[in-house]
């Protein structure tokens, strides 16, 4: 039996991000079994049935199981955690702190009990704070618990750069660090179009506008949708991280990692470039940072620490 046939992936939460993540995992045949779990009876089962019926058309061999029973997740190799309340217009990611903190605590309990050797990718907002809480509740090594943020934020920046320059988005390399929120740090110094620095192609004013739009990227989509938030790109980003770990692709991806001295921070999660492979976070890459970017990183980590303190006040940490 091949390694792929033996694999098991659990997607927690059958909302739009979760159902799309399950679909992406199935279409890429990342595992023999993909479990989609949700507290709503019938929803994950119905989505699973629909996806399994698509297998004959799309040609994938993964089997999707929909469930409300945490026991069905036991023995999973990796979890993609999307469960929680999405943002509504006018809400900040931090507004979700208490309700989604309780969700993370409940999910961590069955992950720890039934899949003690698994990897965990958190997508739930407020991202950096939720992954910090997840890791605290699990007690897993930091390299096995990470958050999906920078992959999504960098993809948004890449799309805006592609639109502005007229270049194919495949030729754009962008890097966004820091917390997944309005204080994120788009690293224009490390953004290129087929090796050409962004500043050689786009004016200062246009770069500043793209940076601001990237920071507000999730809110822009929330405002347009009116009900709900982004799901295609967040799901794709989480699955890209899972694939890099399961297939030992060792991709360099910006994601929320536990810092132990890197970038001058200790014991806090925030978005940094990391190599993801069979051991999870194989290496955190420290980039030389201009003074302004360093100031912004201090600010973004400070905001995460404020949310972490709020979790303590709520009795969740």
Catalytic residues: 180
Whole-Å CA distances, 254 to 138, 177, 211: 23, 7, 16
3-state class of 263 per DSSP?
helix
How far is Cα 217 from Cα 174, in angstroms, rounded to an integer?
Answer: 15
3-state class of 258 per DSSP?
strand
Percent helix, percent strand, percent coil in the chain, to nearest 5: 50, 20, 30
H-state helical runs in the chain = 3-6, 16-27, 43-58, 97-114, 127-138, 150-165, 204-215, 217-225, 232-246, 291-313
3-state class of 179 per DSSP?
coil
How far is Cα 152 from Cα 52, in angstroms, rounded to an integer?
Answer: 27
From 28, 23, 153, select the one nearest 93 (Cα to Cα).
Answer: 153
Match 């192609």 to its residue by tokens. 201
Give strand pairing partners of 208.
Answer: none
The Cβ-side half-sphere exposure at 231, using a 13 Å CA radius, reads 20
What single DSSP character describes residue 59? Answer: -
Match 């204080």 to its residue by tokens. 183
3-state class of 187 per DSSP?
coil
Match 């955690």 to its residue by tokens. 81
Q: At what angle do helices 127-138 and 291-313 cross, to 10 degrees?
A: 60
What single DSSP character describes residue 15? Answer: S
């Amino acid at each position: 039996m091949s390694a792929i046939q033996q694999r098991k992936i659990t997607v927690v939460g059958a909302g739009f991000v979760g159902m799309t993540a399950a679909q992406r995992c199935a279409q890429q045949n990342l595992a023999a079994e993909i479990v989609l779990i949700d507290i709503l009876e019938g929803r994950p089962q119905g989505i699973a049935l629909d996806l399994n019926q698509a297998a004959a058309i799309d040609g994938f061999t993964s089997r999707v199981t929909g469930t409300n029973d945490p026991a069905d997740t036991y023995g999973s190799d990796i979890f993609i955690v999307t469960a929680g309340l999405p943002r509504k217009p006018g809400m900040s990611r931090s507004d979700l702190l208490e309700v989604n903190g309780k969700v993370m605590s409940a999910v961590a309990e069955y992950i720890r009990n039934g899949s003690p050797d698994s990897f965990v990718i958190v997508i739930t907002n407020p991202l950096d704070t939720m992954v910090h809480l997840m890791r605290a509740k699990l007690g897993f090594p930091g390299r096995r618990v990470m958050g999906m943020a920078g992959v999504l934020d960098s993809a948004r920046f890449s799309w805006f750069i592609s639109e502005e320059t007229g270049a194919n988005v495949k030729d754009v390399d962008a890097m966004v660090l820091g917390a997944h929120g309005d204080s994120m740090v788009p690293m224009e110094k490390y953004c290129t179009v087929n090796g050409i620095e962004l500043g050689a192609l786009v004016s200062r004013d246009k770069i500043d506008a793209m940076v601001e739009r990237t920071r507000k990227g999730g809110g822009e989509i929330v405002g347009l949708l009116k009900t709900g938030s982004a799901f295609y790109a967040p799901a794709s980003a989480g699955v890209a991280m899972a694939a890099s770990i399961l297939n030992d692709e060792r991709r360099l991806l910006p994601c929320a990692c536990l810092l132990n001295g890197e970038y001058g921070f200790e014991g806090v999660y925030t978005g940094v470039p990391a190599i993801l492979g069979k051991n999870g976070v194989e290496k955190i890459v420290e980039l030389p940072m201009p003074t302004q970017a360093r100031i912004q990183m201090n600010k973004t980590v400070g905001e995460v620490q404020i949310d972490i303190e709020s979790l303590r006040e709520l009795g969740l940490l």
